[in-house]
Amino acid sequence: MGVPPTSRLRRTPQQARAKARLARVLQAAERLLVREGTEALTTTRVATEAKVSVGSLYQYLPDRGAIIDALASRYLAELEDLMDTFVHAASAERWDDPVGVLIDAYAEIYRTEHGFRALWFSRGLTEETRAADREHKRRMADGIRRVVLALQLAEDDEALATACHAAFLAADAITQEAFRRDPDGDPALLDEAKVMLRGYLSGITARYPTKHTGKRQQ
């Protein structure tokens, strides 16, 4: 776990040693989060878990909110990096089932990133993290749009961006519910999400076709 790209850090570490110390602190915070939830993320508890002084931690993370924001920033950045990877892959490959590829990949994040799941299912999110998540959803929706364009399934316009935003919001909500029901993800609910979103993707390609997919339906 590296230094989060955007978060409410009191200061940003510049030297390698300071970056490594902050990464160790965030690893400790994640362990506490998974074991005990966001209430355990006090500066004292995190410093003790990380085996650093409270003063050393306070240079970067002054309170629980800053710790939560830093963890959230790291998780959101990982998801966005994964989406970028899929955009590049879609440019080079032909996917028979793009919905299945994306749903399975993000379900695996919920399945394996216990800290991410613990944070998002908690009641301890800060207003800053909630705002960051709203912007994150817009960037992820834009990633869906770029995947659709890379696969040459539709022409680009504002309506396509709105449709991809709606698709991502639906996928995100259903995936969260699947993992609230079952730590491994309720398979029946995830399968229904795929059925629903495949139908929605078919509707998108019909409404916003390219020369590769045929004429626009009236």
pLDDT tens readout for residues 135-180:
999 999 999 999 999 999 988 989 899 999 999 999 999 999 999 9
Angle at 23 between CA 18 and CA 24, to 5 degrees: 95
Indicate whether 56 belongs to any domain: no
Indicate whether 103 belongs to any domain: yes
- 80-90 pLDDT, tens digit per residue, is 999 999 999 99
Query: 46: which 2 tokens?
Result: 């995190």
Query: 41: which 2 tokens?
Result: 């993320």
Indicate whether 215 belongs to any domain: no
In CATH, what number is assigned to the domain containing residue 99?
1.10.357.10
Indicate whether 13 belongs to any domain: no
On the 0-12 / 13-18 / 19+ scale of CB atoms within 10 A, 76 is buried
Indicate whether 184 belongs to any domain: yes
The number of CA neighbours under 13 Å toward the Cβ of 142 is 9
State the DSSP string of 101-135.
HHHHHHHHHHHH-HHHHHHHTSS---HHHHHHHHH
Indicate whether 27 belongs to any domain: no
Number of domains, the chain: 1
Task: Give the domain range for residue 153.
Answer: 71-207
Angle between helices 158-181 and 98-112 (to 10 degrees): 40
> What CA–CA distance (Å, rounded) separates 179 from 185?
4
- 192-205 pLDDT, tens digit per residue, is 999 999 999 888 88
Indicate whether 148 belongs to any domain: yes
Per-residue confidence (pLDDT) for residue 7, from 0 to 100: 53
Indicate whether 128 belongs to any domain: yes
- 72-115 pLDDT, tens digit per residue, is 999 999 999 999 999 999 999 889 899 999 999 999 999 999 99
